[in-house]
Each structure stands twice: as structure tokens, then as C-alpha cells.
């Protein structure tokens, strides 16, 4: 599995994909945080925090992560290399995990440079260091978990088709449902006592909870369960398509 993981990472980092993802994330968040005079702008807010980044980044990830994962299985199937891949001396689950971890590592690579935003806010606070580091690190962890969940969803979408564009659209739709769909249903206030339960099924509730700086085991278990579920149905999807052939 390690060999396959290295191969996937090499494919990302020797092509434009990996660098494009990192640059797009940094440029998009940078413009909104420091240039555009909107609610996300750090300089205009007057507060030493990165709330704008953690409000904006999930929406960037809604499109960026599916762009990372859309080629995972769709391209293999389109190029006719899927059968060759599954004849390797590794299990289906190891193949899925290798592709998943490669996507997560690339996601991490895009997050690390954004620490320069944290350093800047830390240094230019009044006084210097006047920033809630607990909430900031909790938000970073929550953002990483959110991205990891989106990666698992995107991998599942890629397993459904041999068309990368279709995989991208399906992944964006599913990520949007998981991030915003349950919040929307909750806002309707039509299910009475189970409204809070419905909200807890969505990613946003747990991401918001982690952003407060207190890591609740329920939030961690939620993300691990969500990731495991989508990796499992990815495996089922691939096995089904193999039997169909």
C-alpha cells in the first residue's frame, strides 16, 4: 500500500494538479482575508483572529476537494488501467486507502502554508499574541477533518463513473448536502424534537463545535464514522462494477 501511496502522491506533485490546488486555496483565501473589503477581511474586522478563514475555507473545499478526487478512479477506468490496478498484490481496501491518504496529504499541504496568516495575525495583534490559540487550533483541526471527509465523499463519487466531470459534479453535490443540507432542514424547524438530531448528522454542526477550541470526542467519532462509511461504500461500488464486467 505504501508503494501505491507514494505513486499517487508523485502523480499529484509531478503534475499541475497538486500545485494548482495549493495555489488556488492560498490565493482565494488570501484575497478574501487581506484584499477584498468584505466580512472575511482581517484588517477591516479589527480583531486578531482568523474567523474569516474558517468561514470561507469550507466553501473553497466544496469545489477544491472534488477537483482533487475526481480523477482517482474515473481516470483509471477511462484509461483502461483499472483491471491492472486490481491485479496488484494489494487488497481493494488498500488501494482505496492509498488513494484516500494521497488526497488527504495533498489537502494538508494546502493548509500548512496558510499558517503564515496565523503568524501575521499573531504578530500584528495588539498586544502581539492577542489571539485565542485554542479556538484557532481547534478550527484548523476541524477544517482538516472537514477536508478529510470531503475527500472520502469525492473518492466515492469517482468510483461511480469513468467521467471526471461527472465525478466532480456528484462530489460537489454530495459534499454540499453533507455540509449545508442538514443545516437547511434544521432551519425549517418542522421536525420538532428531532431537529437537533437532524442537524447533528451534518458536517457543519461538528465543524462549528470543534472551532470553539474544545475537542469533543463526539465530533471526532462523527468524522471518523463519516469517512469510514464513504470509504466502505466506495469499496462496495468498485466491487459491484467489477462483478458487472
Q: What is the reported pLDDT for 166?
A: 94
Measured between its terminal Cα atoms, the distance across the chain in Å is 25
CA 117 to chain centre: 20
C-alpha grid cell, residue 87 = 491485479
Q: What is the reported pLDDT for 135?
A: 85
Q: What is the reported pLDDT for 157?
A: 95
User: pLDDT digit string (tens) for 38-60?
Assistant: 787 887 776 777 888 899 999 99
Mean pLDDT over all residues of the chain?
86
Q: What is the reported pLDDT for 242?
A: 58
Average pLDDT over residues 216-241: 91
User: Is residue 123 over pLDDT 60?
Assistant: yes
User: pLDDT digit string (tens) for 167-188?
Assistant: 999 999 999 999 999 999 888 8
Q: What is the reported pLDDT for 83?
A: 67
> What one-character DSSP code corresponds to residue 125?
S
Alpha-helix residue ranges (DSSP H) falling in 112-216: 115-124, 133-159, 164-176, 182-188, 195-200, 203-210
Question: 105: which residues sit within 8 A by CB, 6+ positions away?
Answer: 9
Q: What is the reported pLDDT for 180?
A: 92
User: pLDDT digit string (tens) for 70-117?
Assistant: 888 887 777 777 767 767 777 888 889 999 999 999 999 889 999 998
Amino acid at each position: 500500500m505504501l508503494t501505491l501511496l507514494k505513486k499517487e502522491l508523485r502523480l499529484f506533485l509531478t503534475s499541475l494538479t497538486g500545485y494548482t490546488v495549493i495555489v488556488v486555496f492560498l490565493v482565494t483565501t488570501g484575497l478574501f482575508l487581506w484584499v477584498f473589503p468584505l466580512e472575511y477581511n482581517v484588517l477591516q474586522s479589527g480583531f486578531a483572529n482568523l474567523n474569516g478563514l474558517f468561514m470561507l475555507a469550507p466553501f473553497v473545499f466544496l469545489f477544491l476537494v472534488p477537483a482533487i478526487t475526481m480523477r482517482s478512479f474515473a481516470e483509471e477506468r477511462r484509461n483502461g488501467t483499472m483491471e491492472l490496478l486490481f491485479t496488484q498484490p494489494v487488497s481493494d481496501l488498500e488501494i482505496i486507502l492509498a488513494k484516500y491518504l494521497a488526497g488527504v496529504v495533498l489537502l494538508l499541504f494546502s493548509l500548512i502554508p496558510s499558517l503564515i496568516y496565523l503568524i501575521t495575525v499573531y504578530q500584528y495583534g495588539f498586544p502581539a499574541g492577542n489571539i485565542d490559540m485554542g479556538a484557532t487550533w481547534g478550527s484548523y483541526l476541524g477544517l482538516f477533518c472537514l477536508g478529510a471527509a470531503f475527500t472520502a465523499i469525492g473518492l466515492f463519487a469517482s468510483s461511480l463513473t469513468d467521467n471526471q466531470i461527472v465525478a466532480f459534479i456528484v462530489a460537489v453535490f454530495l459534499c454540499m448536502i453533507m455540509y449545508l443540507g442538514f443545516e437547511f432542514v434544521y432551519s425549517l424547524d418542522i421536525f420538532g424534537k428531532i431537529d437537533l438530531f437532524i442537524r447533528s448528522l451534518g458536517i457543519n454542526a461538528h465543524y462549528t463545535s470543534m472551532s470553539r477550541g474544545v475537542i469533543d470526542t463526539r465530533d471526532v467519532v462523527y468524522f471518523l464514522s463519516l469517512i469510514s462509511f464513504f470509504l466502505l461504500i466506495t469499496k462496495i461500488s468498485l466491487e459491484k462494477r467489477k462483478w458487472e464486467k
